[in-house]
Structure 1
Amino acid sequence: MSDDTQKNTLANTQFSVLDLAPILEGSNAVESFQNSMKLAQAVEQFGFNRYWLAEHHNMPGIASSATAVVIGYIAGATSTLRVGSGGIMLPNHAPLIIAEQFGTLESMYPGRIDLGLGRAPGTDQLTAYALRRNQRVDGSEFPEQLAELRSFLQPSSQNRVRAIPGEGLSIPIWLLGSSGFSAKLAGQLGLPFAFASHFAPDYLLPALQLYRTNFQPSETLSKPYVMVGVNVIVAESDEKAKWLASSQEQAFLNIIRGKSGKLQAPIENMDTVWSETERAMVQKMLSYSVAGSMNTVREKLLAFKQETQADEFIVNTHVFNQEERIRSYELLSHIV
C-alpha cells in the first residue's frame, strides 16, 4: 500500500485529543491549566475534531478533577473545537447536577459541548466515599442514573424537578468504557461508544463487537459510531519519540507499582528503572500506543484502523515538555 493510500485511509477517520491535564514534576495545577489552554488552541488550528478532559480524583499528577470547570475554561479559550468530557464519572454525581452543569456549558458555547460518561469512580474507594454519593462503587446503578440524566435533558420535561439550563438542549451523550458493560448498553440505546484502549486494551475488540452486535438505531445515531483511545507521540525521528515516551512509560510503571505522582521528565534508558516483568506489564497496557517518526506512526495507526474499524481516534500524548507535546500533535495533523 502506498503512502498516499495510507494517508487517504486515515483521512477518513476523525482525530481528537484526550487531555489528562498532567501536572509536571516541579510544576503545579496553574501551569497545567495554562498548558491545556495553549494545547487546545494549537490543536484547533491543526484541525482536530474535539478536545476531551477526564475526571480523576486524588491523583497528584492530574489536574482535571473539577472537569466541567476545566471544560468551560478550554471552551472559552477556543472558538470552533468541540470540548467535552472523556469522561464524567456519573456514579460520583447526582444526575441533576451533571444536567445543569452541561446545560450551562452548552448554553455558553452552543453546539460545541460533548458529554462523555463513565461508570467507574475515577479514583480509589476511599476517595469515592469522600465524594459523598454512596458507598457503592461498582457502577451497578449506572443505567438508572443515565436514564435519569437523559430525562432531565428532554424537551418539555414533565419532571417536577427540572434542569434549568439543560432541559431541551442538544448535548451529545457518549458512553465510555473498558469492558463490555457500557459497550452493550451504548449499543442498546443507540449512543456513540468510546473505548479506553489507551490504558486498558485487553477487551477492546470483544467490546466493539458487542457494541456493534447490540446496536439499535436511535434518534441519535442510525448506525454504530466507535471512538478508540490511543497514545501517540510523534517526533522527527523514532529515537527522539522513544525518548519522549519514557515519561509515559514511567507513569504507567507507577500505576503498576501502586504509586502516584507527577509526570516525570524523560530518561535515556527505562531498563535502569524497571524489571523485565514490569516492562512486559507496561508494554501490554500500552498495546494501543505508538511513538515514532511520522512514517512509523502512520503505519501503526493504519494497522489500528484496520483492526478496529474505528470511526474516530482520540489521542493522548503524555509528553513532559509542552513544546514537544504541541509539536507531536502538529506532526500528527500532517499524517492524517
Structure 2
Amino acid sequence: MPVALSLLDLAAIAPGQTARDSFHNSVELARAAERSGYERVWYAEHHNMSRIASSATSVLIGYVAGQTDTIRLGAGGIMLPNHSPLVIAEQFGTLESLYPGRIDLGLGRAPGSDQATMRALRRNPSSADTFPQDVLELQGYLTGNSRIPGIKAVPRAEGVVPLYILGSSLFGAQLAAHLGLPYAFASHFAPEALMQAVREYRDRFQPSEQLAQPYVMAGVNVFAAADRAAAEEQKTIAYRARTRAFIKRGAAGVDYSDEEIDAFLASPNGAHLAKMTTYTAVGTPGEVADYLEDFAAEIQADELITVHHAQEIEDRVRSVELTGAALGARESVTR
C-alpha cells in the first residue's frame, strides 16, 4: 500500500529575512503541499531559536488555514508540559470550529528549548512527569468528557480533533501504544531509537476509540531538485547553516567559515550533530522517491513527515512539488 506523504514546516527565517517573511513562505509551502497531494502540514513548537518562527504554533496554524482550502494542518507538535491542557483544548477547539475537518494536534513532552528558556516559560522541571495524565485531561476536554468536574473547554468543536503522540524515545512509543493513538517519530533529527521505538509501538498497541490499528509516522529530511548536483548543493548550504545555528547559540558576534563548519562536522565533536541528519533523501525526484519508499518499507511506516530544508523558499517549494509528483506518479501506477 502506498505511503502517505506529509510536511513539517519549521517556519525557518532565512538570512536577511524576517519572521513575517517566513510566515508568507509557510503559506506558499502549504499551498504547494495542498496541490501536490500531501496529507497534512505540521508546525513545531520551538522557543528561543532565532531561525525558527513557529513558537506560537496555534496562531500560525490559523494563519495558514485561512489561506488554504483542503489540506489538514496541525501541531507537530505542541509541547504539552509548557501549557495547561485546558488552554490547548480551547485553542484547538477554536481552530477546529473555524476550519472543520482540517485540524490535527500532535503532542510532545520536551521543552522545545534549553533549560534557561524552560524557566522563562515558567515550566516546572518535573512537569514532563505528568505528560500521560495531561494527554488524557486534554483528550477529555476535546471530546466533551472532561476529567475535571465542572470544567469544560469552550469552544469545543463539533468535529474531532485527532491526537498524535510525538517522540524520539521508547517512552513516546509506549504511551502512544497504551493510549491507542498514532505515533510520530522524530527521525529527521533523532534517528537512533527509530527501529526499536516502532517495534515497541506496534507490539504494545491497544485499540482505542480513535484508532483501531497502529499508525506509524516518521520524519525524514528531503532535498529534491531537477538534478542531483543542485540538490546536493542545497543540502550542503542548509546543513552548514544548521550547524552554525547550533554552535553559535549564546555566542554573539562569533562566526565560522564554511571550511571550519565542514571540519567540525567531520571531527569527533561534530559527529553527533552530523548523525542527527542520518535520514536524508537528496537528489532528483526519482532518487528521492526511491529513498523514501525504501525508508518507509524498512520501518513499515504508514506516513512520512518530510522536512524540506533548502534555504531559498523557491527551492523548498520546488522540493515539495517534485517529491509529491514523484511519489504520486508511482502510486497511480500501482493502483
Q: What is the TM-score with the length of structure 2 in the denominator? A: 0.90
User: 1:286 Cα shift?
Assistant: 1.1
Task: Identify which of 289, 313, 316 aligns with 2:307.
Answer: 316
Q: Deviations over 1:72-121 (max 9, x none)?
A: 00111111000000000000000000000000000000000000000001
SS at match of 2:66: helix
Using the alignment, how far apart are the partners of 2:297 and 2:57 within structure 1? 33
For residues 220-239 of structure 1, the aligned pairs below 5 Å read 220-239=210-229
Contact kept, 8 Å, 2:73 with 2:102, in 1: the verdict is yes
Percent sequence identity is 49
User: 1:236 Cα shift?
Assistant: 1.3
For residues 96-115 of structure 1, the aligned pairs below 5 Å read 96-115=86-105
Report whether the alignment pairs 1:117 with 2:102: no
Amino acid at match of 1:244: Q
User: 1:179 Cα shift?
Assistant: 0.2
User: 1:257 Cα shift?
Assistant: 2.9
Tell me whether 103-112 or 150-159 shows the greater mean CA deviation: 150-159
User: 1:135 Cα shift?
Assistant: 3.8
Amino acid at match of 2:165: L
User: 1:268 Cα shift?
Assistant: 9.9
Amino acid at match of 1:34: H
Structure 2 unmatched runs, 5+: 328-335
The count of aligned residue pairs is 322
User: 1:232 Cα shift?
Assistant: 0.6
SS at match of 2:221: strand
Task: Identify which of 154, 157, 167 aligns with 2:143.
Answer: 154
CA 1:27–1:236: 2 relative to 1, 3 Å: same
User: 1:39 Cα shift?
Assistant: 1.2
User: 1:43 Cα shift?
Assistant: 1.4
Contact kept, 8 Å, 2:244 with 2:261, in 1: the verdict is no
CA 1:260–1:314: 2 relative to 1, 3 Å: farther
Using the alignment, how far apart are the partners of 1:133 and 1:270 within structure 2? 34
Tell me whether 294-303 or 38-47 shows the greater mean CA deviation: 294-303
Task: Identify which of 26, 30, 37 aligns with 2:20.
Answer: 30
For residues 75-114 of structure 1, the aligned pairs below 5 Å read 75-114=65-104
Task: Identify which of 245, 249, 253 aligns with 2:239.
Answer: 249
Using the alignment, how far apart are the partners of 1:111 and 1:259 within structure 2? 39
Structure 1 unmatched runs, 5+: 1-8
For residues 50-89 of structure 1, the aligned pairs below 5 Å read 50-89=40-79
User: 1:38 Cα shift?
Assistant: 1.2
User: 1:141 Cα shift?
Assistant: 1.3
The aligned counterpart of 1:335 is 326
The aligned counterpart of 1:304 is 295
SS at match of 1:100: helix
Amino acid at match of 2:140: S
For residues 203-214 of structure 1, the aligned pairs below 5 Å read 203-214=193-204
The aligned counterpart of 2:38 is 48
SS at match of 2:304: strand
User: 1:279 Cα shift?
Assistant: 5.7
* Backbone CA RMSD of aligned residues: 2.3
Contact kept, 8 Å, 2:231 with 2:282, in 1: the verdict is yes
Using the alignment, how far apart are the partners of 2:27 and 2:250 within structure 1? 24
User: 1:274 Cα shift?
Assistant: 4.2
Amino acid at match of 1:189: L
